[in-house]
Structure 1
């Protein structure tokens, strides 16, 4: 089993010590590795190693045939190629996803823009779009200061379900840690509840 862990917290570069999403993602990954010691792990820290945003120069590079790209264009496309290769090789993807201003972090959006490439990770057919990143399991660890689960204010879950599903990843599981900014007691409850969700997911994986 190949595991890809993607940390998107602005605090992820500090080994996750200040990031709830990274800490919980670490716990989930450790549980997966305990269950399968031979599993390989790739960690993509989007704050420690920021990925550039999609801009006009990047689009020009992507739409230029490979043999005609300038060295600068080739280098820019290679950055996206590296992320695509990581997710293509992964059997399991663990995403650390804090909510920032009712959305995903810009770091994670840049990652999604990089891995979503026509004719590589999805394609359009006569029957409509077809995702090419199939056969993978995704765990998204969601951390929020308030409580948004099942509410109109939660735009993160629908966005991830739509985007990941478009790319072929439909086996997606969510772990919620909410109310983290609502006082010490609420924080402790949120972390304990998230850990219980992780334990349940890991147990379900073991018994399949």
Structure 2
């Protein structure tokens, strides 16, 4: 069984989402010691954002030679995702949504004919056999019913995009980490407890 672990926070070891995603992976490895883990740090080795040349090549146009490394990186990211049984993602909220590094990765795995298709009945997800667990961290409180809920475009976006490709993701949430030290400490502790109690792979 293979697990793909992704982090997208720019904060390094100070990142809450990184700490929680690592705890999720540790929990799953303890439950399944034979689990094969592939790690990708989207800030240390970022994928380029999509360009017109990349999209044209994906639609069959001749690719310029200089696009070769980008296309190879794109294929590698997609292959990692397709071969994984479990995907664990650390996703902090930046300006109400996902980090641009994570968006660049999503643009490489949301591929027609690979992870979704269009048919007479509309779009169909093709990646439904995977388990996706996402550790999200948010500076304030954006949960359902909160005054700032309308500004929440992190969890809602990830739920939508993974749903589009056939996956119902699981979320572990650390909220209010910028409200104050005690709020950060409690949010992190609660998220780590949730990670430790995850069902086995």
Which of the five TM-score ranges fits, normalised by the shorter chain? over 0.9
Q: Show the 5 A alignment for 1:104-115.
A: 104-115=98-109
Q: Please, which runs of 5 or more residues in structure 2 have no aligned partner?
A: none
Q: CA deviation at 1:85?
A: 0.3
Query: Unaligned stretches of 5+ in structure 1?
Result: none
Count of aligned positions: 197
Instruction: Report SS of the residue matched to 2:25.
Output: helix
1:95-174 pair list within 5 angstroms: 95-150=89-144, 151-170=149-168, 172-174=169-171
Partner of 1:29: 25
- Corresponding position: 1:205 with 2:192: no
Q: TM-score, normalised by structure 2?
A: 0.92
The Cα RMSD (Å) is 1.4
Paired with 1:185 and 1:11, the residues of 2 have a C-alpha distance of 19
Of the two structures, which has the highest relative contact order with CA contacts closer than 8 Å and spacing of 6 or more? Answer: 2
TM-score by length of 1: 0.89
Which runs of structure 1 show a deviation greater than 6 angstroms over 4 or more consecutive aligned residues? Answer: none
1:11–1:47 contact (8 Å) kept in structure 2:
no
Give the 3-state SS of the residue equivalent to 2:176 in structure 1: coil
- Do the aligned partners of 2:125 and 2:166 also contact (CA within 8 Å) in 1? yes
Secondary structure in 1 matching 2:200: helix
Matched, 1:190 2:187: yes
